[in-house]
Structure 1
Amino acid sequence: MSGAEVAGLAAEQRRPRATEVEQHGIDTIPDAERTSGPFDLFRIQFGGANTFATVILGTFPVLLGLDLVQAVAATVVGVVVGALILMPMGLFGPRTGTNNAVSSGAHFGVRGRVLGSFLSLLTAISFYSISVWVSGDALVGAATRLFGTGDSDLLRGVVYAVLGALVIVVVVYGYQLMLLVNKVVVLANTALMLLGLVAYATLFDPGYDPGPEAYALGGFWPTFVLSALIVMGNPISFGAFLGDWSRYIPAGTRPPRLLAATFLGQLATLVPFLFGVGTATLVAGEADYVFALIQVSPLWYAVLLMVVAFLGGMSTGVTSLYGTGLDFSSVFPRLDRVQASLFIGTLAFVFILVGRLVFDLLASVNAFIGAIVICTTPWMVILVIGYWVRRGYYSPADLQVFNQGRLGGRYWFRDGVNWRGMAAWIPSAVIGLLFANYPPLIEGPFRNAAGGVDVSLPTSIGLAAVVYLVLLVAFPEPRYVFGPRGPRFVPAKEAAMLPVADDPRASVHRAGRRRTPLETPAESIDR
């Protein structure tokens, strides 16, 4: 047996069982417990997106008035561009051993990284809610057709509660059970969606074209760009979460393998996206896409759609909620990972009931996706530039300072905040929102600056990149944040690093946590 085979066997032996409750929060994952690989990163992204939540996003190009060819083109553009932006976000976890929000402390400061935590909260609540909404609606629609149960707010509320509770159970158990759920979803939902080619063969019209008067924004290009941006929201939404899973991948994994796993994982989501595009043409004009689709489906496939809905709701909900539970167990130290997950899950469930039963679902989805794209993308751009100028160098121990109730270290900057990252992100997000056009809830005053075409994304990306690089050159960061090889392209300044010490203001609960060898002050000081 080769050395590689022996190592692989040892890793399998160390892999925890799916039914074991995960013990790690956002602390650094020890090398011995990094039992995943790039294929797991691919699978968990595809499984988490191979769901009805993604299908719903795939219906938007048709709902906004594009014909079939235009809708497919907008979908492909959105997925590919979003995947290219997302790719580098899988590099941080193996280097830092923690999630991307905590990793962002290297560029925003160990306290400033809370920005990433709130971005992940926005994303988690949005996609957890979408997954439970659409999966619950599919189950109610199928039950109405099969058993004549009828439709009511009470029935939908009960189904939402059951789905939401099951998601939280998986989240509480943690990464290994989540990985198992995604293994099942990748295969089962792909097969079931491909069966749709048979189920809808006689109903599908490849020449579907509602005409130019159907364009939601009055013209082709504004409608096309809005459609692509909504689709792009799906890969962008993974930006805050990739580190949740890639932190279980060994640090020595080659970056090209990680980049490829992320790109291919997102490219594979064209399966549910194109399912949404194709089936949306079958029920165009109907107020409730999910309910209407089940009514026009052959009976045998309506039953299968219940399976797709259930598995998909579990997968998307779990991948969304898991990372936010991790994050908030560090932002609010009195909550451990399980308690934080229960808290966020409860908050999201209240949002589900209010959003679904009080507000317009599609308008809510549109607005939240817009906010995610505009606010998260410049944050990602700053992290990627930071990774590049620092040559991928990070100190895992110094990233954990705030989480352990201490202060000082490489990433303390000024009171725990790196104002360079903040000063680049804030105007980028604000100006992006001013140019945004996600009707009817997000309509910036400059939305018509380019003839109605939404230019919020290139504006926010370009501004973040330019401002951040200018600040790094004009106000160099301390040399000790760059590691032994020094900076790339930007200058550095000589400065003394504040030694790591307990923060007297930190809560007894946080400061009293047992430290691992990686967390001792001696390991956190640059000698």
Structure 2
Amino acid sequence: MAGGIVELRSIDVVPDEERHGTAFSQFTLWLGANLQITAVVTGALAVVFGGDVVWSIVGLLLGNLLGGAVMALHSAQGPKLGLPQMIQSRAQFGVRGAVVPLLLVVLMYVGFFASGSVLAGQAVGELTHTDDTTGIVVFAVVTAVTAAVGYKVIHALGRVASVICALAFVYLGIRLLDRVDVGALFGDARFDLPMFLLAMSLSASWQLAFGPYVADYSRYLPRTTSARATFWWTLAGSALGSQWSMTFGVLVAATAGEKFLASQVGYVVALGGTGLVASFFYFVIALGKLTINVLNTYGGFMSMVTSVSGFRGQRVLSRAGRAAYIGLIMVAGTAVALLGKDSFLSSFKDFLLFLLTFFTPWSAINLVDYYLISKERYDIPALSDPNGRYGAWRWDALGVYAAGLLAQLPFLATSFYTGPFVAPLGGADVSWIVGLAVPALLYWLVARRNTAHLPEPTAHEPAPGPRPAHQER
């Protein structure tokens, strides 16, 4: 990518001479990625499913802070290693064993691409005076092209979206508060533990779902970038943006009721105004969704390459290969969006909680290994060698991951399955807390007894690595 706009690297190490930027770039990227309509809908779900305004907002805030802190710890790994997030999962699960969580990660990207395309498609359809289906397809193509250009344009998009969407949400907030009785909304506080924990789970799952790709967008930062600065700027941008959007969603759901449920995009735009003002807010909705959907597409292609390359021994990717992987994500996400566009709201909550179940054990294992076991040291070449120190399959880590999944089942509450411990807890879903704590403890106990895979203190310094042939200066 050196000197150009189009990114040429994929899963290979970013050498020091190509590193650039500051930790503040993480703030603008994640602020822009979270000031968008799907985050609004996520916050609204806390009220739609029975919560009150006050405790829904508090629960969402706690979930955003706790989940955001875990997500930001992953972000801090990017400058240190110069690698995409899921490549370094091979150190925990093995070069080929990492495909187990990777398959679920790809499913996540397709799901978020689809859910985002449903709402963005409505906005694009209005802007182009066509219909939702056309809007979804047009939006998908623009997303794929932007993701193909890569890292630099993604961060530029985040900077633009963070400013435009922040101004738009300030205006929408003023319009909303001018229409409602704020005292009545906040005066009717009634604490309900299951609803409070649902709000926490919704926002925590929103944040934790960024974990598998957050380091993809910090890996070009100079190696000397402070891990603390990367952590705090990432957390600040993501938690502020999501809480801002979700609080707006809570207030909209509490005051608009069926009008909002019937058309989430239509109601928000109507709140802003009519005519040219309405067109501007359709654009804002499309811009906000473009930012996050590009991240999902880019992360999805990285995860697919990581999965395949673990078996093929591939370390670099051609432009044609990059375009093909991105095209697959686009086609799959668009197909799901078109099939599910009429039942979006009813399925989105369970989708979020489903993701939470599968990603909390992965996140716990990854963070314990990086910060407590390996102490930020990895043998970079061995991450591509199934016969190297990390092996093809690390069955101890995969066993811990499976145990983490199983440990959550008694505490899980969804429309298709409810665990036996949910009722004694008053209907509260605390599975994500169990999914973080149990595998973290188990992996720490297992990994500290088997340290043969740990490199020497100098092995974490990645070699510059071969430059792709098409990238020679």
> Which of 165, 173, 195 is matched with 2:149 structurally?
173
The structural deviation recorded for 1:299 is 2.0
Find the counterpart in structure 2 of residue 383 from structure 1: 366
Q: Counterpart of 2:440?
A: 465
C-alpha distance 432-91 of structure 1, shift in aligned 2 (>3 A): same
How many angstroms apart in 1 are the aligned matches of 2:222 and 2:384? 19
Is the alpha carbon distance of 1:208 and 1:385 closer, same or farther for their aligned partners in structure 2, counting shifts above 3 Å?
A: same
Counterpart pick for 2:465 among 514, 518, 521 = 518
In 1, distance between residues paired with 2:55 and 2:280?
29
> 2: distance between equivalents of 1:447 and 1:137?
37
Q: Distance in 2 between matches of 1:425 and 1:32?
A: 37
Residues 302, 267 of structure 1: alpha-carbon distance in 2 compared, 3 angstrom cutoff? same
Is 1:237 aligned with 2:209?
Answer: yes
What's the CA shift string for 1:238-278, capped at 9, x where partnerless? 10011211111122222211211221122221222222222
- Alpha-carbon contact 1:122-1:372 (below 8 Å) kept: no
- Residue 163 and residue 243 in structure 1: after superposition, are their counterparts in 2 closer, same or farther (change >3 A)? same
Paired position in structure 2 for 1:324: 300
For residue 518 of structure 1, give the secondary structure of its aligned residue in structure 2.
coil
Match of 1:278 among 246, 251, 258: 251
Distance 1:160 1:181 in 2: 20
Q: Structure 1: how far apart are the matches of 2:246 and 2:430?
A: 23
Aligned partners of 1:432 and 1:459 also within 8 Å: yes
The structure-2 alpha-carbon separation of the partners of 1:337 and 1:326, relative to structure 1 and needing over 3 Å to count, comes to farther
2:325 is the counterpart of 1:350: no
Q: Report the equivalent of 2:347.
A: 364
Contact 1:136-1:309 within 8 A present in 2 as well: no
| CA drift at 1:158 | 0.7
Alpha-carbon distance between aligned partners in 2 of 1:331 and 1:95, rounded to the nearest angstrom: 22
Q: Does 1:109 align with 2:94?
A: yes
* Stretch of structure 1 that moved more, 187-196 or 427-436: 427-436
How much does 1:88 deviate? 1.2
Q: Give distance in 1, aligned partners of 2:184 and 2:141.
A: 40
Task: Work out whether 1:31 is the aligned partner of 2:13.
Answer: no
Report the TM-score when normalising by structure 1. 0.79
Matches of 1:485 and 1:32 in 2, distance apart?
Answer: 20
2:237 is aligned, of 240, 246, 265, to 265
Q: For 1:63 and 1:191, how far apart are their aligned partners in 2? A: 27
Bigger Cα displacement from structure 2, 102-111 vs 120-129: 120-129
Instruction: Name which of 483, 487, 490 aligns with 2:456.
Output: 483
Q: Select between 23-32 and 277-286 the one with higher mean Cα deviation.
A: 277-286
Distance 2:232 2:18 in 1: 23
C-alpha contact 1:68 1:281 (8 A) present in aligned 2:
yes
**1:519 CA displacement:** 6.2
* 1:193 shift after superposition: 0.6
- State the Cα deviation string for residues 2-59 of structure 1 (Å, max 9, x = none): xxxxxxxxxxxx85443x2x11110111111111321122222222222112111121
User: What is the CA distance between 1:210 and its match in structure 2?
Assistant: 11
Between structure 1 and structure 2, the one with the greater Rg is 1
Distance, in Å, in 2 between the alignment partners of 1:34 and 1:442 is: 46
Higher relative contact order (CA 8 A, sep 6+): 2
1:125 aligns with 2:125: no
The secondary structure found in structure 2 opposite 1:196 is helix
Question: Which residue of the other structure, out of 448, 451, 456, is the alignment partner of 2:431?
Answer: 456
Residue identity opposite 2:366 in structure 1: L
| 8 Å contact from structure 1 (residues 190, 271) kept in 2 | no
Q: Between Structure 1 and Structure 2, which shows a larger proportion of helix residues?
A: 2
TM superposition shift of 1:186: 0.5
Whether 1:88 aligns to 2:63 is no
Q: Deviations over 1:351-406 (max 9, x none)?
A: 1111213xx212321121112212111111111111122211112222133xxxxx
Q: Which amino acid aligns with 1:421?
A: A
Q: Does 1:340 find its partner at 2:319?
A: no
* Alignment deviations for residues 49-73 of structure 1 (CA, whole Å, 9 cap, x no partner): 2211211112112212222212221
* RMSD, aligned CA: 2.7
Aligned mates of 1:295, 1:259 — CA distance in 2: 37
SS at match of 2:425: coil
Q: For 1:207 and 1:229, how far apart are their aligned partners in 2?
A: 27
Counting aligned pairs with the same residue, the percent is 22
Shift in CA distance, 32/517, structure 1 to aligned 2, threshold 3 Å = closer
Distance 1:197 1:450, change over 3 A: closer
SS in 1 for 2:92: helix
Residue identity in the other structure for 2:223: A
Return the letter of the residue paired with 2:36: T
**Structure 1 residues 446, 356: closer, same or farther in 2, change over 3 A?**
farther
Shift of 1:211: 11
Change (3 A) 1:115 1:16: farther
1:151-300 equivalences under 5 Å are 155-208=131-184, 220-269=192-241, 270-286=243-259, 287-288=261-262, 289-299=264-274
User: 1:139 Cα deviation (Å)?
Assistant: 4.7
Task: Provide the C-alpha distance between the structure 1 equivalents of 2:458 and 2:410, rounded to a whole number of angstroms.
Answer: 40
Q: 1:444 aligns with which of 419, 423, 426?
A: 419
Look up the match of 2:470. none
**What is the one-letter code of the residue matched to 2:352?**
I
Cα 1:125–1:182 shift into 2, 3 Å: same
Give 1:447 shift: 2.8
**Structure 2 CA distance, aligned partners of 1:208 and 1:350?**
43
The answer to whether the 8 A contact 1:163-1:313 is kept is no
Deviation at 1:411, TM superposition (A): 1.4
Structure 1 residues 519 and 382 mapped into 2: Cα distance closer, same or farther (>3 Å)?
farther
Question: What residue ranges of structure 1 are gaps of 5+ in the alignment?
Answer: 1-13, 402-406, 487-515, 521-527
Matches of 2:421 and 2:458, distance apart in 1: 44
- In the alignment, the residues of structure 2 paired with residue 292 and residue 373 of structure 1 have an alpha-carbon distance, to the nearest angstrom, of 29
* 1:423 alignment partner AA: G
Give the letter for the 1:129 counterpart.
A
TM-score (norm 2): 0.88
Residue 30 to residue 296, structure 1, CA distance change in 2 (3 Å): closer
Distance 2:251 2:91 in 1: 44
Asked whether the 8 Å contact 2:161–2:288 carries over to 1, the reply is: yes
Distance in structure 2 (CA, Å) of the matches to 1:306 and 1:117: 34
Q: Which amino acid aligns with 1:477?
A: T
Which residue number in structure 2 is paired with residue 59 of structure 1? 44
